[in-house]
Amino acid sequence: MRKVIGAVAAAAVALGLGTAAHAQQTVKIGVLNDMSGLYADLAGRGSVAAAKLAVEDFAKIDPNLKVEIVSGDHQNKPDIGSSIATKWFDNEGVDMIVDVPTSSVALAVSQVAANKNKVFIGSGPASSDLTGSKCNANTVHWTYDTWMLANGTGKAVVKTGGDTWFFITADYAFGHALERDTSEVVKANGGKVLGAVRAPLNTSDFSSFLLQAQSSKAKVIGLANAGGDTINSIKQAAEFGIVKGGQSLAGLLIFSTDVVALGLPTAQGLVLTETWYWDLNDNNRAWTKRWQKEMGNKVPTMVQAGVYSGVLHYLKAVSALKQSKDGKAVVDKMKELPTDDTLFGKGSIRVDGRKIHPAYLFEVKKPSESKSAFDIYKLRATIPADEAFRPLKDGGCPLVKS
């Protein structure tokens, strides 16, 4: 019996080696995100469509590399996310996982990628810990992070007089990181944090928290939450006359899909930071048209654009190395090559895994200023790439010392 098992095992190993050698020119990419819950619009199928566009465009650069895309729904649960990642890496030959909104899931997946020596490109997650204390050599954090949001929106608000803050924070890794990073920016610019309340993820009624924020008498109510939670907070803040009462709202993470869902009458005047907006320039508009062919009349988010950009750069590194199995080597190559694509322009990836590009401070248009359903932002300021993200030395990433 033991002999039989041994023979089967040997055959399996031989077959495995055989396919590995044969499949050298094949790369498998897994798009892992929320396909059905509150983040499904800002990532979801739209990210898969963006990854497909990247593969399509890469075929023009190197037609020899065969790229396959699979997708999965992590339901915003770290255990489900890491078990899909493990299954993909171990059994299904996936070389790289991209997207993963929800910071708690992303932190888990990043760990799995490091343990299996694969690649993780985070476009959806926000927590700056991914390139800070919890960084590793297999992870690249692409589109945005909590430090950048805090630095963009937080600083702009404090500078225009909003110097006392109260936070309504989503009670998980992302919310905590965003609250922490924003508090630091507020304090560094001479402001004061008066308090915070932690609201469970997926709360539908925020009026109780808004009332607490109201009685704190803070000038600014910082919303350290995302997706449906942010939409509900802003909608209900309007109802409770928070802004009319003299307090202002700072949505720290607002996506274009959220603004469309709120409608301009409710969302007008909000200040927010993003790294990509579909209507910013001709390149973005052209890409959006291609994306909408697959997705219908929807507005793409910076997360989806980041998936495109990340996948494209990953494929360039794989093509240069002629291998995709050693994840750390691929990430090293990605850091070595300068990034360049039509959506984010020229940029680079730092040693801690942080992708660097400019960020934009937007203001949501008044209904009278908007010419079409997705014409929602006006540009207030551009934050240059070297100021948009946390300085390398401040992150506490162990890779930086070595």
Partner 1 sequence: MFEIFGIPSQALFGQLLIGLINGSFYALLSLGLAVIFGMLNIINFAHGAQYMLGAFAAYLLLQLTGIGYWPALILAPIIVGIIGIVIERTMLQWLYKLDHLYGLLLTFGLALVIEGVFRNYYGSSGQPYQVPSSLAGGHNLGFMFLPNYRAWVIVASLIVCFGTWFVIEKTRLGSYLRAATENPTLVRAFGINVPRMITLTYGFGVALAAFAGVMAAPIYNVSPQMGSDIIIVVFAVVVIGGMGSIMGAILTGFSLGIAEGLTKVFFPEASSTVIFVIMAIVLLTRPAGLFGRG
Which residue, 77 or 235, has its beta carbon nearer to partner 1? 235
Neighbour tally for 129: CB within 10 Å: 27
Of 156-195, which residues contact partner 1 (CB under 8 A)? 171
Across the beta sheet with 139-141, what order do the strands follow? 66-73, 26-33, 96-99, 119-122, 139-141
Q: CB under 8 Å to 98, separation ≥6 — which residues?
A: 29, 30, 31, 32, 47, 51, 120, 121, 122, 123, 307, 310, 311, 314
Asked whether position 359 contacts partner 1 by CB under 8 A, the answer is: no
Calpha distance 243→316 (Å, rounded)? 48
Asked whether position 207 contacts partner 1 by CB under 8 A, the answer is: yes
Which run of H or of E encompasses 148? helix 146-149
Residue 43 Cβ, how far from partner 1 at the closest point, in Å?
A: 10
Task: Calculate Rg over the CA atoms of the chain.
Answer: 22
Asked whether position 231 contacts partner 1 by CB under 8 A, the answer is: yes
Q: CB under 8 Å to 10, separation ≥6 — which residues?
A: none
Asked whether position 209 contacts partner 1 by CB under 8 A, the answer is: yes
Helix ranges (DSSP H) in 249-363: 256-262, 264-267, 282-295, 302-321, 327-336
Task: Out of 263, 269, 338, 367, name the contact with partner 1 by CB under 8 A.
Answer: 263
Spell out, one character per residue from 114 to 153, where the chain touches partner 1: x when CB under 8 A holds, - when not: ----------------------------------------
Asked whether position 214 contacts partner 1 by CB under 8 A, the answer is: yes
Of 4-43, which residues contact partner 1 (CB under 8 A)? 36-42
Calpha distance 177→377 (Å, rounded)? 26
Interface segment toward partner 1; rule CB under 8 A; list 84-92, 232-240, 352-360, 377-385: 232-240
The residues that bridge with 170 in the sheet, in sequence order, are: 199
Asked whether position 225 contacts partner 1 by CB under 8 A, the answer is: no
Asked whether position 269 contacts partner 1 by CB under 8 A, the answer is: no
Task: Out of 197, 243, 321, 329, name the contact with partner 1 by CB under 8 A.
Answer: 197
The residues that touch partner 1, with contacts defined as CB under 8 A, are 36-42, 44, 171, 197-200, 202-205, 207-209, 211-212, 214-215, 227-228, 231-232, 235-236, 239-241, 245, 257-258, 260-263, 265-266, 298
